[in-house]
Structure 1
C-alpha cells in the first residue's frame, strides 16, 4: 500500500517521535514526577498537536533550522514537565537524545541515498512522494541500530537518579554547538544535496556531520565524567579534612584520659593503704581505668590512637580484634594519613562482622616489613556475596551516592605513597592487602 503525504509535514511528525524516543534513552532512569503516565500522555499529545499545526511557510534551510530548533525546545519543556530533575539534567539528557536522533537521521539518509532509495529520505522537498512499507522498514532498522549502539556506548553511563551537575557555561556552550552542527549546518548540507545532487559533496558533508556529532557526544559525556570525578574527589577530600580534625581530637582526648587514669591509679593505690576498702572492689576499679592505659604500643602514635578507638568499640559490641603491628615501619606516612587509612580499613571490617553471629565477629590486622616493602593485611568474615567493579568492592548499602568513598579514600592514600591495594573475597573470608615501599615513594611529602 502506498501513501501520498506532504514530505515536510510527515517529517515533522516522524522527527518528533524519533526525538522523544532518543531522549527517553537518557531520561528513563531519572526521577519521575507524580502521575507520570498522565503527564507524559498529555504532554506528548500537546507537543504533537503543536508540531502538526506549525505552519510550513518556506522550504528553505533557514526556516527548517528555526522550526526544528523550536521542536527541540518543546521536547525540553515536555521532559521538564514529566521528570523531577533540574534544568541542567533536563538539558543534558535532551541534548544527548537530539544528537543520537540526528546521527540516526544522517545514517538513514546515507543508507537510502547510497542504496538507491534516495526518495525515501526526501522529506525536505516541496513535492509529494510515495513512502512504501519497504522504506519504512529501512527507517526503523537504521534508527533502531543506531539508537541501540549509542545507548550501549553512552546511555548506560547514566546511573539511576544520578544528579547531573555540569556547570552552566559548559552546558550552554554544548547546546550552542549542537544547535550549529546538528540543526543549522545540517539543514544547509541536506538542502544543497537535493539542489545539486553532488554525491561527493554530500558524502563529505555527511561524514563530517557524523564525526562532529559523535565528537559532541564524547565531549558531553567527558564533561559528565569529569564533573563526577570532581564531585567524588571533593567528597573524599572533605572526609580527609574531617578525619584530620578527628585525629587531633582523638589524640588530645586519649592523651588526657591516659594522664587522668594514671593519676587515678596512684590515688586508688594510696586510698587502699589508708582506708578499709574491699580490695576486690579496688582491683575492679583499677582494671576498668587501665583499659586506656594498657593498650599495646605499636611504635606509631597515630596507629595507637585509631586502634584504641576501634578496640574500645569492638569490646563494647562483642567483636574480637587482633593485630600484629610493627607501627614503627609507618614512619614515612603522615599521622592523618595513617589515621584515615586504618580508620577506613577497620570501619569497613566492623560494619561487616557486626552483622554476623558472635563466633564470626573476628577481625585481624597485620603490619610487617617484607624486604623493601611494607605489607598491610586485614581479614574478616562476611556473609552473602561481595561484588567487585574494577577490582574494588561495591558497597551493599542502598544509598550508593553517599557510601563507598571510604574505599576510594584508601586507594588515594595508597597511591599517594606509590603502593598498591587489592581486595579478595572467597570462602566467606574477606582479605584486604596493601603493599607500600618503605622508602615512602610516590607523591608523599
Structure 2
C-alpha cells in the first residue's frame, strides 16, 4: 500500500486539505469575513489542488512553499476585511506555526526511531507518513489553542501601526530563519551557490529581530506600569467613595436627632437661666451639635459632606476656605465621580497650602452653570515649584508615582462626561478649571472663566 501512487496522492490531498482548513480557521478567528463562504472555500480548494500538483511533480520545496504562502495572502486579502500589514502578520504566524510543527514532528520521529540522518527519514515512506500524521496533529493542537484562548487580534488591544511593524519584524524574521535552517537540514540548500549570502541575511535578520524585541519589551514594561497606576487609582477612588458614604450615613443619623435635640436643649436652657454652669454646659452641647450640621448649600449631600470635612481640615491648618458651589442641576454626575473630583481637588489644594510656612494660605472653590456648562474653578496659594509639560504636572515630591494620581483621577472622571480640565499656575497660586457640558454639546468652551462671575458670591 505504501508503494501505491494513488495512496500517496490521497495522503497529499487529505494532508493539504487539513492544512488549508486550519488556515481558514485561523483567518476566521482573527478577522471579519467580507466575501461569501462559498467563495472562500472554492479558493481554498483551488489552493489545495495546486499544492497537491506541485507535490506530485516533486517541485522544489522552497518554491512550493513560496507559492503556497502567496496563495494564502491572496485568499486572505480578497476574502477578509483587514489591513495588509495585519494580514501579513497573521499569515506569518500561521506559516511559522506550520513550519514549527513540521520541524517538531521530524525531531519527534527522529528521536523515537534513533535516527540521526534526516535523509533516512525522507527515504523511508513509513517514517515519512508518521511525520505527516504527527505534523497534522500538532497543527490541530495549535488550532485548538487558538480557539481556547479566543484571540481577537487587534480588536481588544489598541495596537498602533508603528507597534504592528515592530511586532511583524521578529515574526517574519523567525519565519525566514526557520525556513532557512530547515532547508539546510534537509539538503535543499545544497544546490544553491548563494547559500553563504542567505546565511548572512538570516544572521542580520536575527539582529534586527532582537532590536524589535527590545522595543516590544519596553512597551510591555510601560503597559505593566500603567496597569499598576490604574489599580492604584481605582483603589484610591473606592477608598474615597466608601469614606464619604460612611460619613453620609453617619450624618443622616445625626440629622434625625438634631432637630429634636436642639429643641430639648432650648427647653432645658430656659429652665436653668439662673444657673451659669448649666448654661455653659448647654452652649457647649449646642456647639458640638453644630459641628455635625451640614453646610447644605450645594444641593448635593455628598458634596456638602466633602466640603464640610475639608473646611474642618482647613480650620485646623489655618487655611482660609471659601466655597460657592451650586450643584442642583448636576445630578447626571455619578456620586462616585463627585467624590473623586472634589476630594482630589481639595486634597491637592490643602497639601499645597500646608507647604507654606509664612504668608497667606487660602483655598477658593466655586462652581456654577455657565453657558450650558457646569464650571468649577479652584484656586489655592502655593510656594512649591510646579513643572508642566504637554498638560502633565510634574512635582518636587520624591514619590512622583503617587503624586499625580489625584490629577489623573480628576481628568478621568471629567472625560467620562465629555468635559475638559485646564491647569494654570503662577509663582504664588495654582488654578484648576473644570468644564462639564450639561447638554448635548460635545465641545467645551475655549478659554478661561470669568473670575468675577464665578467668585461673585465669595
TM-score range, shorter chain: 0.5 to 0.7
Equivalent residue number for residue 421 of structure 1:
421
Correspondence list, 1:35-434, <5 A: 201=198, 204-205=201-202, 208-275=205-272, 276-278=274-276, 279=279, 282-283=282-283, 285-293=285-293, 295-357=295-357, 359-434=359-434
2:232 and 2:305 map into 1 onto residues whose CA distance is 24
Q: In 2, Cα distance between the equivalents of 1:348 and 1:392?
A: 15
CA 1:277/1:266 → structure 2, altered by over 3 Å: closer, same or farther?
Answer: farther
Contact 1:262–1:293 (CA under 8 A) maintained in structure 2: no
Structure 1: segments with no counterpart, 5+ residues: 1-173
Does the Cα contact within 8 Å between 1:318 and 1:358 map onto a contact in 2?
no
Would you say the 8 A contact 2:355–2:384 is kept in 1?
no
Whole-Å separation in 1 of the counterparts to 2:355 and 2:440: 36
Which secondary structure does the structure 2 equivalent of 1:327 belong to? coil
Q: Does the residue aligned with 2:328 lie in a helix, a strand or coil?
A: helix
Helix, strand or coil at the partner of 1:360: coil
Rounded Cα–Cα distance in structure 1 between residues aligned with 2:307 and 2:440:
22
Partner SS, residue 330 of structure 1: coil
The whole-number CA distance in structure 2 between the counterparts of 1:294 and 1:215 is 60
Quote the Cα distance in structure 1 between the aligned partners of 2:254 and 2:397: 35
The 3-state SS of whatever aligns with 1:363 is strand
Counterparts in 2 of 1:263 and 1:243: CA distance versus 1, 3 Å: same
When normalised by structure 1's length, the TM-score is 0.52
Q: TM-score, normalised by structure 2?
A: 0.51
C-alpha distance in structure 2 between counterparts of 1:440 and 1:290, whole Å: 41
Shift of 1:256: 2.2
CA distance in 2, matches of 1:322, 1:358: 20
Cα displacement (A) at 1:312 = 1.5
* Map of 1:133 onto structure 2: none
Q: CA deviation at 1:197?
A: 7.4
| Alpha-carbon shift at residue 237 of structure 1 (Å) | 1.2
Question: Contact (CA 8 Å) 2:376, 2:433: kept in 1 or not?
Answer: yes
Alpha-carbon RMSD: 3.4
Per-residue Cα deviation, 1:277-305 (whole angstroms, up to 9, x for no partner): 33566445434422332624211122111
**Greater RCO, CA 8 A, separation 6+:** 1
Question: Which whole-Å deviations, capped at 9, do the CAs of 1:402-439 have from their partners, x for residues lacking one?
Answer: 34322221121111111111222213110111111113
The size of the alignment, in residue pairs, is 262
Contact 2:385 2:395 in 1 (8 A): no
Secondary structure of 2:243 counterpart: helix
Q: In the TM superposition, what is the alpha-carbon distance from 1:200 to its structure 2 partner?
A: 6.1
Asked if the contact 2:299/2:327 (under 8 Å) is kept, the reply is yes
5+ residue gaps, structure 2, are 1-166, 443-458
SS of residue matched to 1:331: coil
Q: Contact (CA 8 Å) 2:353, 2:380: kept in 1 or not?
A: yes
Specify whether residues 209 and 375 from structure 1 end up closer, same or farther in structure 2 by C-alpha distance, changes over 3 A only. same
